[in-house]
Amino acid sequence: MSSQALDLLTSQDYKWGFVTDIEQEAIPPGLNEDIIHLIAAKKVEPEWMLDWRLKAYRYWQRLEKSEAEPTWANVHYPPIDYQNIVYYSAPKAKDGPKSLDEVDPKLLETYEKLGIPLSEQKLLAGVAVDAVFDSVSVATTFKDKLAELGIIFCSFSEAVREHPELVRKYLGSVVPYNDNFFAALNSAVFSDGSFCYVPKGVRCPMELSTYFRINAKDTGQFERTLIIADEGSYVSYLEGCTAPRRDENQLHAAVVELIALENAQIKYSTVQNWYPGDKEGKGGIYNFVTKRGKCLGKNSKISWTQVETGSAITWKYPSCILQGDNSIGEFYSVALTNNYQQADTGTKMIHIGKNTKSTIISKGISAGHGQNTYRGLVKILKGATGARNYSQCDSLLMGDKCGAHTFPYLEVNNSSATVEHEASTSKISEDQLFYCRQRGISAEDAVSMIVSGFCKQVFRELPMEFAVEAQKLLGVSLEGSVG
């Protein structure tokens, strides 16, 4: 492997590392019941919401006392001091902005710099955006247009106020507050996030997206996303995320719940680009996230596509509970670890209904001292007659200081099930590089091209705009060849 090419590819600057100078309103660091009361009060939440938070907090506290923070993942980091984190920080504003005209221009500028214009004249055609800045949603575009179709797309806080019946029905129905350590923490302190409901038979005409931005120092971001696709509906949802360059690690512990009713489809795509830390492994985001979808109705489908290039540590397993008969779960993933990044990521496919089907395509790329782990569970329950799974896990190693690990778990309790697993590990060969360079392609472009070829099966699952961004993130000049 040409070290020159590697250096070029892997030394690209993190372009999103700037800090927005804006007056923030934050609560003191630390976590206790008073803090939770304070968060709930700031958000003017109903009693039931506060009760739920407190239940979650008490559960989390028990776990913390018994040192039950999960340690099974193949990642290593010093203990996190949960009393040292600020759990709520928001740009100062009198009231929540009523329209985009009222959003602080500094925030608009920030998102514009990130390539996510929010102002009416510059909106991305065909993409509605909910912009989350630290602990709060600062703007949601195309809301009215979507409302005409009965689609609800708003911040989580607004949903709690305006659509409590839907939130109460589904909140925690896929990821209960006591699901795991980080999910419990999130349930206690989550401050905002996105909410989406697509009514019966409606095909959402545009991509919905949330752009998460961490800005404030010493702050954790704990958001929740809840998406409900009612019978026969379809929605494609995207999320993106970036954070400033800082020497301290920051915690991001999100929860995403998806619910697909009969014949509904949810396509959920992520381009995760949190600050990964510097070349020596200093700083970066700890991305400890619980994402799960439930195919509740017959013939429903949930598809996860993720491109994970950021974060110092990623701990994340977007999963599908295939409850409805004939339901389908998909997981397409590219995870890149460079320098001292660590990723332990994969999926769980839980087959409950008959003739349920799942596909797992995982592509891990390790460079520098990066450590990349695929961890996946395929579980076929007794009643899941005719269930099928296909898993493919490929690893690409760049250099000789990085690592790739694969932990596939299989539990099959129905003899009619078909489960296939394929795995491969490869390196970019000198021969491939030389072949490209002999054709006039620079070493840097050659590496990008080979890497993006390796990821193609996943990239083609992304909506076009995101495929472009994802390729760029991997250092690729696109030239219109995706798909």
CA 370 to chain centre: 20
Name the residue nearer to another protein (CB basis): 196 or 443: 443
Name the residue nearer to another protein (CB basis): 4 or 84: 4
Name the residue nearer to another protein (CB basis): 80 or 441: 441
All residues at 6 or more sequence positions from 135 whose CB lies less than 8 Å from its CB, including other chains: 87, 88, 89, 90, 191, 192, 219, 221, 222
DSSP strands (E only) in 317-438: 319-322, 328-337, 342-351, 357-366, 371-380, 388-397, 403-412, 418-427
All residues at 6 or more sequence positions from 44 whose CB lies less than 8 Å from its CB, including other chains: 161
Minimum separation from the CB atom of position 452 to another protein (A): 7
The site for another protein (CB under 8 A) is made up of 2, 429-432, 434-443, 445, 449-450, 452-457, 479-481
Two structure tokens written together for 292: 């799960």
Minimum separation from the CB atom of position 7 to another protein (A): 15
Q: 440 in the Ramachandran plot: left (φ > 0), alpha (ψ -120 to 50) or beta?
A: left
Instruction: Give the type of residue at 446.
Output: A
Name the residue nearer to another protein (CB basis): 62 or 460: 460
φ and ψ of 9, to 5 deg: -70, -40
Minimum separation from the CB atom of position 421 to another protein (A): 19
Name the residue nearer to another protein (CB basis): 377 or 478: 478
C-alpha–C-alpha distance, residues 230 and 395, integer Å: 37
Name the residue nearer to another protein (CB basis): 411 or 430: 430
Minimum separation from the CB atom of position 459 to another protein (A): 9
Partners of 349 in beta bridges? 320, 378
Name the residue nearer to another protein (CB basis): 1 or 73: 1
Q: How far is CA 63 from CA 31, 57, 66, 204, 309, in A?
A: 14, 10, 5, 40, 30
Name the residue nearer to another protein (CB basis): 77 or 434: 434
Minimum separation from the CB atom of position 453 to another protein (A): 3
Name the residue nearer to another protein (CB basis): 250 or 452: 452
Among 151, 225, 214, which residue's Cα sits nearest to residue 192?
225
All residues at 6 or more sequence positions from 197 whose CB lies less than 8 Å from its CB, including other chains: 151, 152, 163, 166, 227, 228, 230
Minimum separation from the CB atom of position 365 to another protein (A): 13
C-alpha–C-alpha distance, residues 339 and 114, integer Å: 24
C-alpha–C-alpha distance, residues 337 and 132, integer Å: 26
Minimum separation from the CB atom of position 404 to another protein (A): 17
Q: Are 275 and 242 in contact (CB under 8 A)?
A: yes
CA 243 to chain centre: 14
Minimum separation from the CB atom of position 409 to another protein (A): 27
Minimum separation from the CB atom of position 399 to another protein (A): 16
